[in-house]
Chain A
Amino acid sequence: RKEVEQDPGPFNVPEGATVAFNCTYSNSASQSFFWYRQDCRKEPKLLMSVYSSGNEDGRFTAQLNRASQYISLLIRDSKLSDSATYLCVVNGPRYKSTFGDGTTLTVKP
């Protein structure tokens, strides 16, 4: 079993849809959590950090559930430009970062 697991998708949604991704992790000692987006053949770009209290950045909402060991990303009012692969990363302990294999989102007109 992988330390960090994501549904690979692909998720194909129409513009304006709401879509949610989950990511589960196995190490209960993990310390911090982030979402990244990666466009085809480009580097990952930091999207947002994830806290137990939840955090929101415009159309994006991230949430951490420590008890169930998963993090989520919600995208509202999807845009064509949201099409990308979304990677979750789980950090720690001991300065180790573990990425999931990503969930691919395609937003269609």
Chain B
Amino acid sequence: ETGVTQSPTHLIKTRGQQVTLRCSSQSGHNTVSWYQQALGQGPQFIFQYYREEENGRGNFPPRFSGLQFPNYSSELNVNALELDDSALYLCASSPRDHPYEQYFGPGTRLTVT
């Protein structure tokens, strides 16, 4: 069984640029959630996707957007990057019958300079 994978592993961007992060969910999982984790803090919920629709969102501005594809993989897009967007971005997938039971990928470490 393949776990959650994310790409890229690391990324360096300049303030004002746009970035796209990718996530492949675990086999049999149909729900994907994205999180931002700053150093020393817990993961902060960005949003959740189910059946290609956003069905839950945290306190993040609209420049954070996402997509889920028919194969349940997902993208996180961040526009107009700010220095404070530097963080570890985590994707988690959940099985159909346990949407809150989340399995995390290794994350993408984004640095904005």
Chain A residues within CB distance 8 Å of chain B: 4, 31-32, 34, 42-46, 49, 87, 89, 91-92, 94-102
Contact = CB atoms under 8 A, between A and B. Distances in A.
Given A95-B50, A96-B58, 7 more contacts: A46-B103, A94-B56, A96-B48, A96-B56, A96-B57, A97-B33, A97-B100
B104 interface: yes
- Closest 9 A-B residue pairs measured CB to CB? A95-B56, A99-B42, A43-B104, A91-B100, A101-B42, A32-B100, A99-B43, A97-B45, A95-B48
B2 to A, nearest CB: 15
B108 to A, nearest CB: 11
Contacts of B50: 95
B107 A98 contact: no
A38 to B, nearest CB: 9
Contacts of A89: 102
A43 B56 contact: no
B42 A97 contact: no
B25 to A, nearest CB: 14
B65 to A, nearest CB: 17
Contacts of A98: 45
Contacts of A49: 101
B105 interface: yes
Nearest to B107: A43
Contacts of B42: 4, 87, 99-102
Chain B, interface residues (CB within 8 Å), range: 20 to 34
A35 B103 CA distance: 12
A45 to B, nearest CB: 7
Contacts of B106: 42-43
B55 interface: yes
A60 to B, nearest CB: 16
Contacts of A100: 42
Interface in B1-48: 33, 35, 40-45, 48
B104 A95 contact: no
B11 to A, nearest CB: 16
